[in-house]
Amino acid sequence: HTFFLDQSFAQQLMGMGLTPRSEVLRKRVTIIEGTTPESLSSKKGSQALELIRLRFGNDITIGIQYTTIITDLCPNLHIHDFRVNSLYDLLQNHYKIPISRIDQSVSAVLSDEWHRNLLKIRDAAPLLRVHTTAYLDNKDPIETSTSYYRADRYEFSISQNY
């Protein structure tokens, strides 16, 4: 299966004929501090939501996502059920927040024991680590995530128009 980085996780899976679902390992309202992801450092003091989700396609473990979202423009984001709701869908359609740019970087890492257990893989298998940061029209960051995907099942592909 090929993932396209310009689509949400849910869109990608549905496009492949798979049913997306998430298991929420952590959902916590927090404040952006010095220890939060560097891409959100300009938002220090802002309210945020921290999400850690195990991601599935047709009940097959695909990856784990660590996400931090600035919630100034999306109050009560934490009340939504992230087992079934797509974060990007909520931001764009429920809160009407236009995301104008998403920066992404992809690298390969060896899985550690924590990720091997969660993703049900043996040995130190390679994982695809994907960092994303989403920006608003005014260039303010609104969301950042680090995802670890099983490299034995998925590859990433980028298509750009010029």
Summarize pLDDT for 27-53 with one digit per residue, the tens: 999 999 987 788 999 999 999 999 999
Residues of the chain with confidence (pLDDT) below 70: 1-7, 155-161
pLDDT value for 129:
94
Q: Are 45 and 91 in contact (CB under 8 A)?
A: no
At position 160, the amino acid (one-letter code) is Q
pLDDT value for 160:
64
Q: Find the length of the chain.
A: 162
Helices (H) and strands (E) in the chain, counts: 3, 8
pLDDT value for 17:
82
